[in-house]
Amino acid sequence: METGIKEHTNQGKKLIILGFVTIGILFFMYGRYQDPQLLTPSAIDTIQRIAYGFYIILMISFGAIAFGMYRYHREKVEIKGKDISSIIALTTWNSKSRKIFVVTFIGYGIFFSLVSGTLVYQPEVDFSYHYGATIPSGFIAPCCDGPGYMPQVIIYLTEHVGLNIIPINLVLQIIVSYLVGLNASIAVNAYTISKKGRGASGIGAIAGLFIACPTCAGSFLSIFIGTASGIALSIALTQLQTFFIAISIPILLVTPYIMAKKLRNVDGSCKINPD
């Protein structure tokens, strides 16, 4: 019985790993089509079809990761083990924690979309007038930029509201939003036991805001130190994109384990029973 449960848990892990590996390979492979010299009239239709395929595979990969995480989480709850991963699973399986996770995931995702430029609001610009766009409409731009930044999906929802979906931004947005939601759902239970770990989670969330759009920090700072200096700072921050990723994601990954330790009984079992 125990062997069967472990096998199911491993299958969940495999789906998660497969999904992320597929996304990495997808970014690498599509990056090979980003040479502007390849964008000949005869090649445009082919690259456009590849762009559509890119997002189909990306969505399938997200689905595999989501199902793998659900399966892994569920099996950890059923096992009711005493390891930290099981404590995290048991803590976040109750209905209250799930609701907080969903609200935080969606809310933070929307906020991330705004600061990263995925969700665009330009009240001073009429999309139909300035860009000749049909409202509503959308298209996929297949070329040309660095790996992970193409193909972009551009959608005009209204005259002033639109979406600019960049693959790397989308992936990072989902990862960071999930981790922030996970931290929030655990913190609800851990808060009554210990206040430790809350600061680290907050730092990770703030740093995570600038993963996909580090230039946003320069935009905010330009309000206080002047436009020219803000632009210069934005350029500098762009070069530190990897630094923001290195800070935020590890913090958001480690914090649940820190908080989960406060939710263990002396015998190693979880202090909270899932609903």
pLDDT at 67: 94
| Residue 169 CB neighbours (<10 A) | 21
Confidence at residue 197, expressed as pLDDT on a 0 to 100 scale: 46
CA-wise closest residue to 69 among 128, 129, 3, 19: 19
The DSSP 8-state label assigned to residue 144 in this structure reads -
pLDDT for 222 equals 41
Q: What is the pLDDT along the chain (275 residues), one digit of tens a residue?
A: 445 545 556 788 899 999 999 999 999 888 887 777 767 777 788 888 889 999 999 999 999 999 999 999 888 888 877 788 888 888 888 888 888 889 989 988 888 888 777 888 888 888 888 788 888 888 888 887 777 888 989 899 888 888 888 898 888 889 888 988 888 888 777 665 555 445 555 544 444 444 444 434 444 444 344 433 433 444 444 445 556 666 678 888 888 887 777 777 656 666 666 55
Q: Note whether 237 and 215 are within 8 A (CB).
A: yes
The pLDDT assigned to 226 comes to: 41
Q: Where are the beta strands (DSSP E) in the chain?
A: 119-121, 137-141, 152-156, 161-165
Using CA atoms, how far apart are residues 16 and 22, in angstroms rounded to an integer? 10
Q: What is the pLDDT of residue 52?
A: 92
Q: What is the pLDDT of residue 230?
A: 38
